[in-house]
Amino acid sequence: MFGSFAPTPYDLRFQLLGIPVRVHPIFWLSSAYLAWESEHLDRVAVRVLCIFLAVLVHEMGHALVTRRFGWQPEIVLHMLGGYATSMRHSTWKDIAVSAAGPGAGFLLVLMIWLPCELLDILLPGSTLLSPRFNFAAMQNWPEAIAAGTTGNELVLTAIDFSFWFNIIINLINILPVVPLDGGQISREYWLWAKPRRGMEICLKLSIVTGGAVAAWGAYSMKFPDVAWSFGRNGLFLGVMFGYLAYLSYEELQKSSGRQW
Ligand SMILES: [Zn+2]
């Protein structure tokens, strides 16, 4: 969504399930920025790996469904996210491709949650966005995984951060804001449901939703104690969604200009 990122000599390249993946250096830098905590570089490294896994799984969702529809995709990870190349199929196939990214992301949340639940390491009443750990359940684990009564700090950092990051990025992505996944689904749907006014409805929905998230980001930065606060990430979300709402507004101006 920040445009395409040209290959560099420092790109990490590999194949996953036959799909070529390219990781631009800006991915590691922007992830480290988000994960930063100057006194604990080990935690930063763990969080960066969690971001890598989360974004890769999300993009693999798009890529696998794209390939199923007969087109060979490529995944590029860049500025705090990525994209999987695709092509225009049909309304419902395109909706399936867009939905598959967040779908894979929520599946990953489930796959992290299930062992936590089976091993009884989450305290009853704690939520996935702010998990509280049951250290007593970890007491008999091997030393390498759990240390005494405080648990292995890095394992818990990975679980805690993965829940938060996967839930937030996939929830953000299903909002009907162009060009996020939810925005693509909204556009496909409205163009199908209302061929003449579909684009206009989609863009207006995008402006209102993007504007509301931008306002909430700014508000929750000022009042970090409210529920669903973005805390210090409020600025980032506010700027990003404000910018996306503006792009939709510009697009709407252009399309209504063509009409008249
Ligand atoms: Zn996506």
Q: pLDDT tens across 173-195, in order?
A: 999 999 999 999 999 999 999 99
What is the whole-number distance in angstroms between the Cα of residue 99 and the centre of ligand 1? 8
Q: Which of 147, 174, 201 is the last residue of a domain?
A: 174
What does pLDDT average to over the chain?
87
In the predicted structure, residue 202 carries a pLDDT above the cut 70: yes
What is the whole-number distance in angstroms between the Cα of residue 178 and the centre of ligand 1? 12
Q: Read off φ and ψ for residue 228, nearest 5 degrees.
A: 60, 30
Its domain, for residue 130, covers 1-174
User: How many helical (H) and strand (E) elements, i.e. helices and strands, does the chain have?
Assistant: 7, 4
Q: In the β-sheet with 19-23, what is the strand arrangement from edge to edge?
A: 12-16, 19-23, 75-78, 81-84
State the total domains in the chain.
2
Indicate whether 15 and 60 sit together in one domain: yes
Q: Which of 141, 159, 174 is the last residue of a domain?
A: 174
What is the whole-number distance in angstroms between the Cα of residue 60 and the centre of ligand 1? 9
Indicate the range of 61-70, 101-110, 154-163, 206-215 predicted with least confidence. Answer: 154-163
Indicate whether 112 and 227 sit together in one domain: no
What is the whole-number distance in angstroms between the Cα of residue 53 and the centre of ligand 1? 14
Quick one: average pLDDT of 32-61? 92
**Separation CA 46–CA 64 (nearest Å):** 26
Indicate whether 203 and 144 sit together in one domain: no
What is the whole-number distance in angstroms between the Cα of residue 196 and the centre of ligand 1? 27
What is the whole-number distance in angstroms between the Cα of residue 176 and the centre of ligand 1? 12
What is the whole-number distance in angstroms between the Cα of residue 121 and the centre of ligand 1? 30
Q: Which of 150, 174, 198 is the last residue of a domain?
A: 174
In the predicted structure, residue 37 carries a pLDDT above the cut 90: no
Indicate whether 152 and 199 sit together in one domain: no
Indicate whether 154 and 233 sit together in one domain: no
Indicate whether 135 and 214 sit together in one domain: no
Quote the DSSP letter at residue 123. Answer: P
Confidence (pLDDT) at 88: 84
Indicate whether 163 and 182 sit together in one domain: no
What is the whole-number distance in angstroms between the Cα of residue 44 and the centre of ligand 1? 24
Kindly indicate the confidence band of residue 3, based on its pLDDT and cuts at 50, 70 and 90.
Answer: low
Quick one: average pLDDT of 199-222? 92
Q: Flag whether 81 is in a domain.
A: yes
Confidence (pLDDT) at 26: 94
Higher pLDDT, 132 or 226: 132
Q: Flag whether 256 is in a domain.
A: no
- Amino acid residing at 105: G
**Separation CA 67–CA 51 (nearest Å):** 24
In the predicted structure, residue 99 carries a pLDDT above the cut 90: yes
What is the whole-number distance in angstroms between the Cα of residue 158 and the centre of ligand 1? 22
In the predicted structure, residue 140 carries a pLDDT above the cut 70: no
Q: At what angle do helices 91-118 and 153-173 cross, to 10 degrees?
A: 160
Question: pTM for this one?
Answer: 0.88
Indicate the range of 39-48, 97-106, 187-196 predicted with least confidence. Answer: 39-48
What is the whole-number distance in angstroms between the Cα of residue 22 and the centre of ligand 1? 16
Indicate whether 168 and 104 sit together in one domain: yes
Higher pLDDT, 240 or 226: 240
Indicate whether 168 and 180 sit together in one domain: no
